[in-house]
Amino acid sequence: MSDNHLRLGVNIDHVATVRNARGGAYPDPLRAAKLAEEAGADGITAHLREDRRHISDADIDGLMEVLSVPLNFEMAATPEMQKIALRHKPHAVCIVPEKREERTTEGGLEVAREENKLAHFIAPLRDAGCRVSIFIAADQRQIEAAHRIGAEVIELHTGAYCDAMADDHDDKANSELEALREMSVFAHSLGLEVHAGHGLTYDTVQPIAAFPEVRELNIGHFLIGEAIFRGLTPAMAEMRRLMDEARE
């Protein structure tokens, strides 16, 4: 795979959201993960939330068993989640902020204020061989703190940029995009691997995919939604095409 290849991590949380709406076994997120893998996903992302609103513990067990591509395990910085991650030792662990009342992960992690605590939290995960990623806003203070605590990867939160695009707030979208661009350059200069994600769609992916410092995008909600209309494989193929085109 070329050095310029931008990895696509497919987040399957919302297959589990639909399953859980009826409390049964369908649709099966593991089947979606295998399909995404066959369709060229470079990794699968799943967020085990504290309230288990979508992905379940059994889903994580199953993903660890069936996946051939790396699992990016998203979790809050809690002792319970640390224990689960240490049991499974997934390829990557992405630490995200979590509030029970939020609909989705609304902001980046506050690393700078919790530096000591987070440094201790991620150390055993790193020792276990997991690549630790920290989900943060495009904010230099947070990036510096993520670097200091020993994270290898940061994932930049693209939600504010995507929301501004959806609302046709061009100035805001441009300033958010500029911050993401500058901070991906800055993080890369510190030796951090840069990922990005949240809220990305066909309309918003290309400017982010064009940043050469960004190595991976994690995309879920839009792809799973689009899969209703065209199927997961074609939905992913179009995202892949747009990412490759932006990268040229």
CB of 23 to ligand PXP, least distance (A): 22
**Closer by beta carbon to ligand PXP, 34 or else 220:** 220
221 labelled binding-site residue: yes
The 90-129 site mask, x for binding ligand PXP (CB under 6 A), equals: ----x-x-------xx------------------------
Of the candidate residues 69, 132, 137, 219, the single one contacting ligand PXP (CB under 6 A)? 219
Active site residue 47: yes
Work out whether 47 is an interface residue with ligand PXP (CB under 6 A): yes
Query: DSSP states of the chain as a string?
Result: --TTPPEEEEE-HHHHHHHHHHTSS-S-HHHHHHHHHHTT-SEEEEE--TT-SSS-HHHHHHHHHH-SSPEEEEE-S-HHHHHHHHHH--SEEEE----TT-SS--S----GGGHHHHHHHHHHHHHTTPEEEEEE-S-HHHHHHHHHTT-SEEEEE-HHHHHHHHTT-HHHHHHHHHHHHHHHHHHHHTT-EEEEESS--TTTHHHHHT-TTEEEEEE-HHHHHHHHHH-HHHHHHHHHHHHHHHH-
Query: Active site includes 198?
Result: yes
User: Active site residue: 88, 195, 198, 216, which one?
Assistant: 198
Stretch that binds ligand PXP, among 22-30, 142-150, 217-225, 236-244 (CB under 6 A): 217-225
Q: Is 98 a residue of the active site?
A: no
Is 220 an interacting residue with respect to ligand PXP (CB under 6 A)?
yes
| List of residues contacting ligand PXP (CB under 6 A) | 11, 13, 47, 74, 94, 96, 104-105, 135, 155, 197-200, 218-222
Q: Catalytic amino acids? A: 47, 74, 198
Q: Cite the annotated binding site by residue number.
A: 11, 13-14, 22, 49, 54, 104, 199, 220-221
